[in-house]
Amino acid sequence: GKLDNLSDPAEVVKVSAAHEVDFLPPEAND
């Protein structure tokens, strides 16, 4: 997958957000 080659958590979050992939509960985005 596209996330497999990402080692930076911030990049994972950014890419996931760009792909509208919400893998964290809303309250985790505080």
pLDDT at residue 27, rounded to an integer? 73
| Residue 13: C-alpha distances to residues 7, 9, 30 (Å) | 11, 6, 14
pLDDT at residue 2, rounded to an integer? 62
Q: Exposed, middle or buried, 12 (CB in 10 Å: 0-12/13-18/19+)?
A: middle
Per the confidence metrics, is the pTM higher than 0.75? no
pLDDT at residue 10, rounded to an integer? 83
Number of domains in the chain: 1
pLDDT at residue 30, rounded to an integer? 58
Q: Using alpha carbons, select from 23, 1, 27, 2 the residue that is nearest to residue 13.
A: 23
Structure tokens, 17: 């957000």
Structure tokens, 6: 């990402």
> The domain containing residue 11 runs over which residues?
1-30
pLDDT at residue 11, rounded to an integer? 81
Digit-by-digit pLDDT tens for the chain (30 residues) are 665 666 788 887 787 777 665 666 667 555
